[in-house]
Structure 1
Amino acid sequence: MKNNETEITGDLYNLLLNPATRDWERSLLRAAKTGIDNGANFDDQIAKLEAELRPLALRNNLTPDVTDFYLRITDDPAAGNSFDLSVHYQEDGPYQARAIFAGGCFWCMVEPFETRPGIIAVISGYTGGHMDNPTYEQVAGGYTGHVEAVEIIFDTRVWYYKELVELYWQLTDPTDEFGQIADRGSNYRPVIFVANEVQQAIAELSKQDLAESGKYKNPIVTKIEPATTFWPAENFHQQFYQKNPKRYKKLKRSRQQFLAFQRMQTKLRLGFKRLRNKNRTH
Structure 2
Amino acid sequence: MADTKPGAAVIPAPGQPRPSRHEDVYFSASDGLRLHAADYGRHDPATRGRLPVVCLPGLTRNTRDFHDLALILSRDDKAPRRVVSFDYRGRGRSGWDKDPSRYTIIVEAEDVLSGMAALGLEHAIFIGTSRGGLIMHVLAAMRPAVMTAGVLNDIGPVIEGAGLAQIKAYLSRTPRPKTWEEAAQILAGAHSKSFPALTDADWADFARAIYVEKAGKLVPDYDPALLDGLKGVDLNTPLPTLWPQFEGLGTMPLMALRGEHSTLLSDQTLTEMKTRVPLLQTVTIPGHGHAPILHLSGIPQILRDFFASVDKQRRH
TM class by smaller structure:
under 0.3
TM-score (norm 2): 0.22
Q: More helix per residue: 1 or 2?
A: 1
> Normalising to structure 1: TM-score of the pair?
0.23
